[in-house]
Structure 1
Amino acid sequence: MTVHSEGQPAPAAGSALAHTASASSSTQQTRSTTVRVLAVLLAVMTGIAAALAAFIAGAHLAEGAAEPVVWAATTFVAITGLVILLEEKTGLIG
Protein backbone atom coordinates (compact mmCIF):
# COMPACT_ATOMS: atom_id res chain seq x y z
CA MET A 1 0.00 0.00 0.00
CA THR A 2 1.37 3.41 -0.99
CA VAL A 3 0.84 6.20 1.51
CA HIS A 4 0.82 9.88 0.57
CA SER A 5 2.63 12.46 2.65
CA GLU A 6 -0.69 13.49 4.20
CA GLY A 7 -0.99 10.01 5.71
CA GLN A 8 -3.85 8.86 3.48
CA PRO A 9 -3.53 5.84 1.17
CA ALA A 10 -3.01 6.46 -2.53
CA PRO A 11 -6.12 6.21 -4.73
CA ALA A 12 -6.64 3.04 -6.78
CA ALA A 13 -5.12 3.12 -10.26
CA GLY A 14 -8.45 3.14 -12.12
CA SER A 15 -10.29 5.57 -9.88
CA ALA A 16 -11.21 9.15 -10.71
CA LEU A 17 -9.01 10.40 -7.86
CA ALA A 18 -5.94 8.75 -9.41
CA HIS A 19 -6.72 10.46 -12.72
CA THR A 20 -7.10 13.82 -10.95
CA ALA A 21 -3.82 13.32 -9.08
CA SER A 22 -1.92 12.56 -12.29
CA ALA A 23 -3.50 15.54 -14.05
CA SER A 24 -2.52 17.74 -11.13
CA SER A 25 1.10 16.61 -11.28
CA SER A 26 1.11 17.18 -15.05
CA THR A 27 -0.24 20.70 -14.55
CA GLN A 28 2.33 21.34 -11.81
CA GLN A 29 5.15 20.20 -14.14
CA THR A 30 3.86 22.48 -16.92
CA ARG A 31 3.73 25.43 -14.52
CA SER A 32 7.23 24.66 -13.30
CA THR A 33 8.52 24.58 -16.88
CA THR A 34 6.71 27.83 -17.67
CA VAL A 35 8.19 29.56 -14.63
CA ARG A 36 11.69 28.40 -15.59
CA VAL A 37 11.32 29.63 -19.17
CA LEU A 38 9.97 33.00 -18.01
CA ALA A 39 12.78 33.33 -15.44
CA VAL A 40 15.44 32.75 -18.11
CA LEU A 41 13.64 35.14 -20.46
CA LEU A 42 13.63 37.76 -17.69
CA ALA A 43 17.39 37.28 -17.23
CA VAL A 44 18.06 37.68 -20.95
CA MET A 45 15.84 40.76 -21.26
CA THR A 46 17.53 42.35 -18.23
CA GLY A 47 20.92 41.64 -19.84
CA ILE A 48 19.81 43.22 -23.10
CA ALA A 49 18.57 46.35 -21.34
CA ALA A 50 21.81 46.67 -19.37
CA ALA A 51 23.88 46.09 -22.53
CA LEU A 52 21.95 48.82 -24.36
CA ALA A 53 22.56 51.23 -21.49
CA ALA A 54 26.27 50.33 -21.46
CA PHE A 55 26.50 50.80 -25.22
CA ILE A 56 24.83 54.23 -25.07
CA ALA A 57 27.11 55.32 -22.22
CA GLY A 58 30.14 53.92 -24.06
CA ALA A 59 29.21 55.71 -27.26
CA HIS A 60 29.19 59.03 -25.41
CA LEU A 61 32.33 58.40 -23.37
CA ALA A 62 34.67 56.43 -25.65
CA GLU A 63 36.63 57.58 -28.68
CA GLY A 64 36.47 54.46 -30.87
CA ALA A 65 33.58 52.39 -32.14
CA ALA A 66 34.76 49.06 -30.78
CA GLU A 67 34.95 50.02 -27.11
CA PRO A 68 31.19 50.52 -26.57
CA VAL A 69 30.51 47.15 -28.21
CA VAL A 70 32.93 45.46 -25.82
CA TRP A 71 31.31 47.23 -22.86
CA ALA A 72 27.85 46.14 -24.02
CA ALA A 73 28.90 42.52 -24.55
CA THR A 74 30.63 42.32 -21.18
CA THR A 75 27.66 43.91 -19.43
CA PHE A 76 25.23 41.53 -21.12
CA VAL A 77 27.18 38.46 -20.02
CA ALA A 78 27.70 39.76 -16.48
CA ILE A 79 24.12 40.91 -15.82
CA THR A 80 22.50 37.86 -17.41
CA GLY A 81 24.73 35.58 -15.37
CA LEU A 82 24.00 37.53 -12.19
CA VAL A 83 20.22 37.39 -12.69
CA ILE A 84 20.33 33.64 -13.43
CA LEU A 85 22.45 33.11 -10.31
CA LEU A 86 19.97 35.07 -8.20
CA GLU A 87 17.05 33.12 -9.69
CA GLU A 88 18.78 29.85 -8.81
CA LYS A 89 19.47 31.03 -5.26
CA THR A 90 15.83 32.08 -4.75
CA GLY A 91 14.54 28.80 -6.19
CA LEU A 92 12.85 30.09 -9.34
CA ILE A 93 14.96 27.84 -11.51
CA GLY A 94 16.61 24.75 -10.25
Structure 2
Amino acid sequence: MNKDSYSTFIGAKAVAFTWIAALISPVFLEIGIQDGFSKHFYIGVGCLLLILISFVDGIRARRHAVYSDFWVCSVVPVAVFLASLSFVWLASSV
Protein backbone atom coordinates (compact mmCIF):
# COMPACT_ATOMS: atom_id res chain seq x y z
CA MET A 1 0.00 0.00 0.00
CA ASN A 2 1.48 3.31 -1.09
CA LYS A 3 0.76 6.06 1.39
CA ASP A 4 2.28 9.46 1.78
CA SER A 5 3.83 10.51 5.07
CA TYR A 6 0.78 12.56 6.12
CA SER A 7 -1.59 9.58 5.82
CA THR A 8 0.84 7.39 7.73
CA PHE A 9 1.12 9.98 10.53
CA ILE A 10 -2.66 10.40 10.79
CA GLY A 11 -3.08 6.60 10.83
CA ALA A 12 -0.55 6.29 13.64
CA LYS A 13 -2.35 8.93 15.70
CA ALA A 14 -5.68 7.17 15.13
CA VAL A 15 -4.23 3.89 16.37
CA ALA A 16 -2.95 5.59 19.53
CA PHE A 17 -6.35 7.20 20.16
CA THR A 18 -8.05 3.85 19.62
CA TRP A 19 -5.81 2.10 22.12
CA ILE A 20 -6.41 4.86 24.67
CA ALA A 21 -10.16 4.68 24.00
CA ALA A 22 -10.07 0.92 24.53
CA LEU A 23 -8.34 1.47 27.84
CA ILE A 24 -10.64 4.16 29.26
CA SER A 25 -14.05 3.31 27.77
CA PRO A 26 -15.03 0.69 30.41
CA VAL A 27 -14.22 3.19 33.16
CA PHE A 28 -16.40 5.87 31.59
CA LEU A 29 -19.21 3.39 31.00
CA GLU A 30 -19.07 2.23 34.62
CA ILE A 31 -19.17 5.80 35.92
CA GLY A 32 -21.87 6.75 33.42
CA ILE A 33 -24.24 4.04 34.60
CA GLN A 34 -24.54 5.81 37.97
CA ASP A 35 -27.13 8.56 38.38
CA GLY A 36 -26.09 12.06 37.41
CA PHE A 37 -23.11 11.09 35.28
CA SER A 38 -24.67 10.74 31.83
CA LYS A 39 -21.88 12.71 30.12
CA HIS A 40 -19.40 10.02 31.13
CA PHE A 41 -21.65 7.38 29.61
CA TYR A 42 -21.71 9.25 26.29
CA ILE A 43 -17.92 9.52 26.31
CA GLY A 44 -17.73 5.76 26.89
CA VAL A 45 -20.13 5.09 24.01
CA GLY A 46 -18.07 7.39 21.77
CA CYS A 47 -14.95 5.45 22.69
CA LEU A 48 -16.75 2.20 21.84
CA LEU A 49 -17.68 3.61 18.44
CA LEU A 50 -14.04 4.53 17.83
CA ILE A 51 -13.02 0.96 18.72
CA LEU A 52 -15.68 -0.42 16.38
CA ILE A 53 -14.52 1.78 13.49
CA SER A 54 -10.93 0.68 14.09
CA PHE A 55 -12.01 -2.97 14.22
CA VAL A 56 -13.73 -2.66 10.84
CA ASP A 57 -10.60 -1.00 9.42
CA GLY A 58 -8.52 -3.92 10.71
CA ILE A 59 -10.86 -6.42 9.09
CA ARG A 60 -10.52 -4.55 5.78
CA ALA A 61 -6.74 -4.68 6.16
CA ARG A 62 -6.96 -8.43 6.75
CA ARG A 63 -8.84 -8.85 3.48
CA HIS A 64 -6.02 -7.02 1.68
CA ALA A 65 -3.40 -9.20 3.42
CA VAL A 66 -1.96 -6.35 5.51
CA TYR A 67 -1.54 -8.35 8.69
CA SER A 68 0.24 -5.66 10.70
CA ASP A 69 -2.72 -3.30 10.34
CA PHE A 70 -5.05 -6.17 11.22
CA TRP A 71 -3.25 -6.79 14.50
CA VAL A 72 -2.84 -3.11 15.35
CA CYS A 73 -6.36 -2.01 14.42
CA SER A 74 -8.50 -4.94 15.48
CA VAL A 75 -6.79 -7.47 17.74
CA VAL A 76 -4.94 -5.13 20.11
CA PRO A 77 -7.85 -2.72 20.79
CA VAL A 78 -10.21 -5.61 21.52
CA ALA A 79 -7.66 -7.25 23.82
CA VAL A 80 -7.00 -3.98 25.66
CA PHE A 81 -10.75 -3.34 25.94
CA LEU A 82 -11.39 -6.80 27.39
CA ALA A 83 -8.51 -6.44 29.85
CA SER A 84 -9.77 -3.03 30.96
CA LEU A 85 -13.33 -4.33 31.18
CA SER A 86 -12.24 -7.20 33.41
CA PHE A 87 -10.29 -4.78 35.61
CA VAL A 88 -13.33 -2.52 36.01
CA TRP A 89 -15.54 -5.52 36.73
CA LEU A 90 -13.15 -6.82 39.38
CA ALA A 91 -12.75 -3.36 40.92
CA SER A 92 -16.49 -2.77 41.11
CA SER A 93 -17.21 -6.15 42.70
CA VAL A 94 -14.93 -5.44 45.67
TM-score tier (shorter): 0.3 to 0.5
More RCO (CA 8 Å, sep 6+): 2
TM-score, reference length from structure 2: 0.37
Greater helix fraction, Structure 1 or Structure 2: 2
TM-score, reference length from structure 1: 0.37
